[in-house]
Amino acid sequence: MQNYLYHVNPLVKMGMIVVLIFWLTTKFSIYEPLIVCIFAIGLTWILGKIDGKRWLLSFLPFLFVCVIYIWNALLFPSQQLKTSGEVLMEWGFVIVTTKSLTYALSLGLRVLAFTSLSLLFIHTTKPENLILSMVQHGKLSPKIAYSILAGYQFLPSMKEEFFLIQQANMVRGVPKARSIRGKILEMKRYAIPMMANAIRKAEQTAFAMEARGFTGNREGRTYYHWVPFSWRDPLFVALLTIPIVVSL
């Protein structure tokens, strides 16, 4: 059951998360985003079998964004929020009322709720399965889908190329840039050979796909890997409606 979220169809998972995000945008209290945030984090950790350290590293920057949101909303509330509700604190130009505090916490918690839902999807979904599911069930054109997959496969090799070019420059005695202008010129020096390599690889991939009979047509196409719907999908839909039912 720990791998449950990995086996939910990515299209169903994405659809339900989008629905929940849209539902949250219509709520301006503290409770709904708080419930969704706790629920999404609990679901990810219990049914996702994720790398905890990686998840925390992804989550912490958004915790900082949440604090910034709350801080800004408390410091610079609208005139309506500043004059409505009971005054909790007054210090110089800073006036915190019950209304402005609720609004600030609502904004911050909404950021955390969106983040926890997004991380649930990102940490429990393989990009290949998402693209395949969109082709097989979402009628996405194979030309677009396989172009995205090919581009995704290039990302790790681009990182290696960057380090290779960097090391080649060091071997040739090119000094490392210290100033901002120097760093911009350095990036330009790295970008040109990387773009040339990327164009060459894209051309080779296009030739390889054509040689294997890829035309982009959907009719008669078979798939080596099929991403099916299963009993896990309605269960996932039911699970994600729990926060909506609880907050009613």
The string of DSSP letters for 116-172 reads HHHHHHHHT--HHHHHHHHHHTT---HHHHHHHHHHHHHHHHHHHHHHHHHHHHHHT
What are the extents of the domains in the chain? 4-126+230-247, 142-212
Q: Please tell me the predicted confidence (pLDDT) of residue 61.
A: 92
Give the Cα separation of 197 and 34 in Å (integer).
Answer: 47
Q: How many residues does the chain have?
A: 248
Q: Please tell me the predicted confidence (pLDDT) of residue 178.
A: 77
Q: How crowded is residue 184: how many other Cβ atoms within 10 Å of its Cβ?
A: 11
What is the full per-residue pLDDT of the chain (248 aa) written as tens digits? Answer: 558 888 899 999 999 999 999 998 888 788 888 999 999 999 999 888 888 899 999 999 999 999 998 888 888 877 777 777 777 777 777 777 888 888 888 889 999 999 999 999 999 988 888 888 888 888 888 888 888 887 787 877 888 888 888 888 888 887 777 788 878 888 888 888 888 888 888 888 888 888 877 777 777 777 788 888 889 899 999 988 888 888 77
Residue-wise pLDDT for 66-84, tens only, equals 999 888 888 887 777 777 7
Who contacts 223 (Cβ-Cβ below 8 Å, separation ≥6)? 132, 136
Tokens of 166: 């960097």
Distance of CA 208 to the CA centre of its chain: 31
94 strand-pairing partners: 91
Q: Please tell me the predicted confidence (pLDDT) of residue 2.
A: 57
Tokens of 120: 């649930």
Who contacts 161 (Cβ-Cβ below 8 Å, separation ≥6)? 193, 194, 197
Residue-wise pLDDT for 231-247, tens only, equals 989 999 998 888 888 87
CA distances from 18 to 13, 134, 240 (A): 9, 15, 11
Query: Any idea what DSSP says for residue 51?
Result: -
